[in-house]
Structure 1
Protein backbone atom coordinates (compact mmCIF):
# COMPACT_ATOMS: atom_id res chain seq x y z
CA UNK A 1 0.00 0.00 0.00
CA UNK A 2 1.07 3.56 -0.67
CA UNK A 3 1.91 6.09 1.98
CA UNK A 4 -0.73 8.66 2.83
CA UNK A 5 0.54 12.18 3.47
CA UNK A 6 -1.42 15.00 4.98
CA UNK A 7 -0.47 18.51 4.03
CA UNK A 8 -1.88 21.38 5.99
CA UNK A 9 -3.66 23.79 3.72
CA UNK A 10 -5.61 26.84 4.73
CA UNK A 11 -9.02 27.43 3.15
CA UNK A 12 -7.51 30.34 1.22
CA UNK A 13 -4.69 28.16 -0.13
CA UNK A 14 -7.18 25.48 -1.14
CA UNK A 15 -9.35 28.04 -2.91
CA UNK A 16 -6.28 29.35 -4.77
CA UNK A 17 -5.24 25.82 -5.80
CA UNK A 18 -8.73 25.13 -7.14
CA UNK A 19 -8.83 28.49 -8.91
CA UNK A 20 -5.45 27.82 -10.55
CA UNK A 21 -6.61 24.40 -11.70
CA UNK A 22 -9.83 25.77 -13.19
CA UNK A 23 -7.95 28.64 -14.86
CA UNK A 24 -5.51 26.16 -16.39
CA UNK A 25 -8.31 23.95 -17.74
CA UNK A 26 -10.10 26.97 -19.24
CA UNK A 27 -6.91 27.99 -21.06
CA UNK A 28 -6.57 24.48 -22.50
CA UNK A 29 -10.21 24.53 -23.64
CA UNK A 30 -9.74 27.95 -25.27
CA UNK A 31 -6.72 26.70 -27.20
CA UNK A 32 -8.63 23.63 -28.39
CA UNK A 33 -11.61 25.72 -29.53
CA UNK A 34 -9.41 28.23 -31.34
CA UNK A 35 -7.53 25.39 -33.04
CA UNK A 36 -10.81 23.76 -34.09
CA UNK A 37 -12.18 27.01 -35.56
CA UNK A 38 -8.89 27.74 -37.33
CA UNK A 39 -9.28 24.47 -39.23
CA UNK A 40 -12.81 25.29 -40.39
CA UNK A 41 -12.07 24.84 -44.07
CA UNK A 42 -14.48 26.01 -46.72
CA UNK A 43 -15.32 23.29 -49.21
CA UNK A 44 -16.69 23.70 -52.72
CA UNK A 45 -19.85 21.86 -53.78
CA UNK A 46 -17.72 19.25 -55.51
CA UNK A 47 -15.45 18.74 -52.49
CA UNK A 48 -18.46 18.46 -50.17
CA UNK A 49 -20.20 15.92 -52.39
CA UNK A 50 -16.99 13.90 -52.61
CA UNK A 51 -16.51 14.04 -48.83
CA UNK A 52 -20.05 12.75 -48.31
CA UNK A 53 -19.88 10.25 -51.20
CA UNK A 54 -23.02 11.72 -52.78
CA UNK A 55 -23.78 13.37 -56.10
CA UNK A 56 -24.32 17.11 -56.60
CA UNK A 57 -28.08 16.78 -56.94
CA UNK A 58 -28.31 15.10 -53.52
CA UNK A 59 -26.16 17.88 -52.05
CA UNK A 60 -28.47 20.47 -53.63
CA UNK A 61 -31.53 18.70 -52.17
CA UNK A 62 -29.99 18.47 -48.68
CA UNK A 63 -29.00 22.15 -48.84
CA UNK A 64 -32.49 23.25 -49.89
CA UNK A 65 -34.07 21.13 -47.13
CA UNK A 66 -31.77 22.76 -44.56
CA UNK A 67 -29.92 19.57 -43.67
CA UNK A 68 -26.64 21.22 -44.64
CA UNK A 69 -25.92 24.96 -44.59
CA UNK A 70 -24.26 26.63 -47.59
CA UNK A 71 -22.38 29.93 -47.63
CA UNK A 72 -21.47 32.33 -50.38
CA UNK A 73 -21.79 35.78 -51.83
CA UNK A 74 -24.98 36.47 -53.77
CA UNK A 75 -24.70 35.14 -57.30
CA UNK A 76 -21.40 33.34 -56.74
CA UNK A 77 -20.31 29.85 -55.78
CA UNK A 78 -21.59 28.01 -52.74
CA UNK A 79 -19.28 26.83 -50.02
CA UNK A 80 -19.72 24.51 -47.06
CA UNK A 81 -17.91 24.52 -43.72
CA UNK A 82 -16.12 21.24 -43.08
CA UNK A 83 -16.90 21.39 -39.34
CA UNK A 84 -20.63 21.78 -40.00
CA UNK A 85 -20.61 18.88 -42.45
CA UNK A 86 -18.90 16.68 -39.87
CA UNK A 87 -21.32 17.84 -37.17
CA UNK A 88 -24.28 17.01 -39.42
CA UNK A 89 -22.88 13.52 -39.89
CA UNK A 90 -22.53 13.05 -36.16
CA UNK A 91 -26.12 14.18 -35.60
CA UNK A 92 -27.43 11.67 -38.16
CA UNK A 93 -25.76 8.82 -36.27
CA UNK A 94 -27.80 9.47 -33.11
Structure 2
Protein backbone atom coordinates (compact mmCIF):
# COMPACT_ATOMS: atom_id res chain seq x y z
CA UNK A 1 0.00 0.00 0.00
CA UNK A 2 1.17 3.52 -0.76
CA UNK A 3 2.09 5.50 2.36
CA UNK A 4 0.99 9.02 1.43
CA UNK A 5 2.14 10.86 4.57
CA UNK A 6 5.63 9.36 4.39
CA UNK A 7 5.86 10.04 0.65
CA UNK A 8 4.68 13.65 0.92
CA UNK A 9 7.24 14.38 3.62
CA UNK A 10 9.95 12.82 1.47
CA UNK A 11 8.85 14.82 -1.57
CA UNK A 12 8.66 17.99 0.50
CA UNK A 13 12.19 17.38 1.81
CA UNK A 14 13.40 16.82 -1.75
CA UNK A 15 11.71 19.99 -2.97
CA UNK A 16 13.19 22.05 -0.15
CA UNK A 17 16.66 20.61 -0.76
CA UNK A 18 16.76 22.13 -4.24
CA UNK A 19 18.12 18.87 -5.67
CA UNK A 20 17.89 18.42 -9.43
CA UNK A 21 16.04 15.10 -9.61
CA UNK A 22 13.33 13.33 -11.58
CA UNK A 23 10.44 11.58 -9.88
CA UNK A 24 8.37 8.82 -11.43
CA UNK A 25 4.83 8.39 -10.11
CA UNK A 26 2.41 5.67 -11.15
CA UNK A 27 -1.10 6.65 -12.15
CA UNK A 28 -2.50 4.86 -9.10
CA UNK A 29 -0.14 6.77 -6.82
CA UNK A 30 -1.05 10.04 -8.52
CA UNK A 31 -4.75 9.26 -8.13
CA UNK A 32 -4.21 8.58 -4.42
CA UNK A 33 -2.26 11.82 -3.96
CA UNK A 34 -4.94 13.87 -5.73
CA UNK A 35 -7.76 12.24 -3.76
CA UNK A 36 -5.97 12.95 -0.47
CA UNK A 37 -5.33 16.56 -1.51
CA UNK A 38 -8.97 16.98 -2.51
CA UNK A 39 -10.12 15.84 0.93
CA UNK A 40 -8.25 18.75 2.51
CA UNK A 41 -9.42 21.33 -0.02
CA UNK A 42 -12.23 23.67 0.98
CA UNK A 43 -15.15 23.63 -1.43
CA UNK A 44 -15.86 26.95 -3.13
CA UNK A 45 -18.90 28.79 -1.84
CA UNK A 46 -21.61 29.96 -4.22
CA UNK A 47 -20.51 33.54 -3.51
CA UNK A 48 -16.95 32.72 -4.63
CA UNK A 49 -18.21 31.03 -7.78
CA UNK A 50 -20.32 34.08 -8.71
CA UNK A 51 -17.55 36.60 -7.96
CA UNK A 52 -16.72 38.88 -10.85
CA UNK A 53 -13.14 39.84 -11.61
CA UNK A 54 -11.83 42.71 -13.70
CA UNK A 55 -8.69 43.05 -15.78
CA UNK A 56 -6.05 45.67 -15.03
CA UNK A 57 -7.24 47.80 -17.97
CA UNK A 58 -10.84 47.65 -16.77
CA UNK A 59 -9.78 48.75 -13.27
CA UNK A 60 -7.72 51.63 -14.64
CA UNK A 61 -10.67 52.83 -16.74
CA UNK A 62 -13.26 52.47 -13.95
CA UNK A 63 -11.15 54.23 -11.33
CA UNK A 64 -9.64 56.71 -13.81
CA UNK A 65 -6.15 56.13 -12.47
CA UNK A 66 -2.70 55.50 -13.92
CA UNK A 67 -1.09 52.04 -13.85
CA UNK A 68 1.56 53.34 -11.42
CA UNK A 69 -1.20 54.27 -8.95
CA UNK A 70 -2.69 50.78 -9.20
CA UNK A 71 0.78 49.31 -8.68
CA UNK A 72 1.29 51.45 -5.54
CA UNK A 73 -2.14 50.50 -4.19
CA UNK A 74 -1.28 46.82 -4.63
CA UNK A 75 2.08 47.20 -2.88
CA UNK A 76 0.48 48.97 0.09
CA UNK A 77 -2.40 46.49 0.31
CA UNK A 78 -5.09 49.03 -0.57
CA UNK A 79 -6.29 46.68 -3.33
CA UNK A 80 -5.50 43.02 -3.85
CA UNK A 81 -4.88 41.28 -7.17
CA UNK A 82 -5.51 37.63 -7.95
CA UNK A 83 -3.59 35.61 -10.55
CA UNK A 84 -5.67 34.12 -13.36
CA UNK A 85 -3.95 32.53 -16.32
CA UNK A 86 -0.74 34.46 -15.81
CA UNK A 87 -2.60 37.78 -15.58
CA UNK A 88 -3.71 39.84 -12.62
CA UNK A 89 -7.38 40.23 -11.91
CA UNK A 90 -9.16 42.40 -9.35
CA UNK A 91 -12.42 41.74 -7.52
CA UNK A 92 -15.20 43.92 -8.91
CA UNK A 93 -16.49 44.36 -5.35
CA UNK A 94 -13.13 45.84 -4.22
CA UNK A 95 -12.97 48.19 -7.19
CA UNK A 96 -16.53 49.38 -6.60
CA UNK A 97 -15.77 50.02 -2.91
CA UNK A 98 -12.89 52.29 -3.92
CA UNK A 99 -14.89 53.96 -6.72
CA UNK A 100 -17.86 54.74 -4.47
CA UNK A 101 -15.72 55.89 -1.55
CA UNK A 102 -16.68 52.99 0.74
CA UNK A 103 -13.00 52.14 1.02
CA UNK A 104 -11.63 55.56 1.81
CA UNK A 105 -8.61 55.28 4.05
CA UNK A 106 -5.63 53.00 3.85
CA UNK A 107 -6.57 51.50 7.21
CA UNK A 108 -9.83 50.20 5.73
CA UNK A 109 -8.47 46.84 4.57
Compute the TM-score of the two structures, normalised by the length of structure 1: 0.51
Runs (4 or more) in structure 1 with deviation over 2 Å come to 34-40
CA offset digits 1:56-94 (Å, max 9, x no partner) = 111011011100010005x8110001012223441218x
- Give the aligned partner of residue 69 of structure 2: 58
Matched, 1:87 2:97: yes
Partner secondary structure for residue 61 of structure 2: helix
Name the structure with the higher strand share: 2
Where does structure 1 lack aligned partners over 5 or more consecutive residues?
1-33
Structure with a larger share of its residues in helix: 1
Which is greater in Rg?
1
- Aligned positions, number: 59
Cα RMSD between the aligned structures? 2.8
TM-score normalised per structure 2: 0.45
Q: Could you tell me how far 1:40 is from its partner in structure 2?
A: 2.9
Residue segments in structure 2 that go unaligned for 5+ positions in a row: 1-44
SS of equivalent residue, structure 1 residue 84 = helix
